[in-house]
Structure 1
């Protein structure tokens, strides 16, 4: 955890940009931020360990080498507990705020009901974040100053990639608690791939991703229990050459979930992910020629 005075002087997010783009990929790490505003910490009833339970800890580090392959990566520095850009811009819980929310707020979504809206109410096992209700302008400020610039930047990266290659593939990188069980009753999956049940991404891409990971010895599930959030659903438009795939990684593969520290598996996993991305580039198979995807 890094404590910052705010995001006026400390960047809320950044983009790792290659010298030359060589891949039709954009990587996104929206939940691995670990810069916590001091005012947010003061407003929370949780200690430092508890408030970090919703972090996709170190996911940005697992993928930062993609820049050396020629693909950009956008990564959040703000924590998910502070603002979740994998939600609609105004999925807000009226019970969290002192004043009435604006009429355009989505107050009835399933995610809001679960306490996990754009401004989250809980982390981990239903642990309430805040000591008291927030002013509505606090939520609006986070959305206007961070959420909207983040999505403008992501849209720009995807548009530039699409222009350069004729199509673009967004890999939305996340991690999940090791307690997640395989929906078919088997052992916990190492990875869950989400394509919004076939609507956000080419089937060629998803099947190749599953095959690559399984060939390395990993267990893989598809869409259950994570089919992809707002980012996957919003940016995945396969008919227009825009493909979005959510990748969930079991945290036990690379970190101690109690101490939130990396363990020896981190290096091996990062190495395997490097091979995984190379597989998706088409090395050894050339499966991602623009014509091959367009022909589905």
Structure 2
């Protein structure tokens, strides 16, 4: 079953049998024409912030009994893995609300709710964009997206007594890890132990390593706003971020799938099944939440 808006969709199983929700917020690749016309980047470079095909890597999730929410809009247009108002006033013509967070590290890096740059610090816009247009993106897309995700978490916790969100992303083939260049296959993040039980994070890492993947934990990607906002272990809601190296399955320069894409997707299906079993066992060892 699918519940759909023009901007994202939730693909639900016939019956949700797992206390799991999967989310792909950065794999959208529907670029609004007015946005492309206003951008200084060409149709190729503007894609450099995409989590390439991550929604397709996790497309089988509903068959296992868990919902999958995925964005249609691109991250370069709107980033829902940010606070609602992480905005750089220098980007806009017109007044912004007084409550904007203009001083976050993400805004400083040009990667706020309305991004200023794509990956590799390439500016998106020729000049300021209308503040009303930026705020409209937040009202029309950001808020409904998070209302939907919040609803999935609440429904899952109500049904099972706890909920586990897996926020799905991709990363460059080479990353900086402890001051050195490294090439981990997959990184699991839990905001340094604050967004999920350590048992869940270590279960995920153990499964992946047992499958032959090289892994890292929290560095350099510990999780963003979604992981932090939805992960509250004391309230029986847990959130993990998974980052998959694009070099495993995609040509990062040409934005196309490698032949290995199918094998990586199949491996992730094995991971999903094994991790789901760990999540169910974890719930059986925990006291049910009081309503």
TM-score for both structures, normalised by structure 2: 0.94
Structure 2 partner of 1:242: 237
Q: Secondary structure at the match of 1:36?
A: coil
Aligned ranges 1:108-119 → 2 under 5 Å:
108-119=103-114
Q: Distance in 2 between matches of 1:17 and 1:294?
A: 24
Q: What's the offset of the Cα at 1:186? A: 6.9
Q: What's the offset of the Cα at 1:132? A: 1.2
Structure 2 partner of 1:44: 39
Q: What's the offset of the Cα at 1:50? A: 0.3
Select which of 241, 244, 247 maps to 1:252.
Answer: 247
Q: Does 1:218 align with 2:213?
A: yes
Q: Secondary structure at the match of 2:144?
A: helix
Structure 2 partner of 1:200: 195
Select which of 16, 21, 25 maps to 1:26.
Answer: 21
Alpha-carbon distance change, 130 to 91 in structure 1, aligned in 2, over 3 angstroms: same
RMSD over equivalenced CA pairs, Å: 1.8
Q: Does 1:282 align with 2:277?
A: yes
Structure 1 alignment gaps of length 5 or more: 1-8
Q: What's the offset of the Cα at 1:86? A: 0.2
Q: Secondary structure at the match of 1:28?
A: strand
Q: Secondary structure at the match of 1:120?
A: coil
Q: What's the offset of the Cα at 1:11? A: 1.2
Residues 162-212 of structure 1, C-alpha deviation per residue, up to 9 Å, x if partnerless?
111110000000001112133374741111111000000011110110001
Select which of 61, 83, 86 maps to 1:88.
Answer: 83
Task: Answer whether contact 2:162 2:283 (CA < 8 A) is retained.
Answer: no
Structure 2 alignment gaps of length 5 or more: none
Q: Distance in 1 between matches of 2:264 and 2:288?
A: 32
Aligned ranges 1:114-133 → 2 under 5 Å:
114-133=109-128
Structure 1 partner of 2:285: 291
Task: Answer whether contact 1:166 1:290 (CA < 8 A) is retained.
Answer: no
Q: Distance in 2 between matches of 1:186 and 1:138?
A: 39
Aligned ranges 1:53-68 → 2 under 5 Å:
53-68=48-63
Task: Answer whether contact 1:280 1:288 (CA < 8 A) is retained.
Answer: no
Structure 2 partner of 1:5: none
Q: Number of matched residues? A: 286
Q: Distance in 1 between matches of 2:11 and 2:211?
A: 28
Structure 2 partner of 1:71: 66
Q: Distance in 1 between matches of 2:105 and 2:255?
A: 29
Task: Answer whether contact 1:32 1:75 (CA < 8 A) is retained.
Answer: yes
Q: Does 1:145 align with 2:140?
A: yes
Q: Secondary structure at the match of 2:16?
A: coil
Q: What's the offset of the Cα at 1:280? A: 1.2
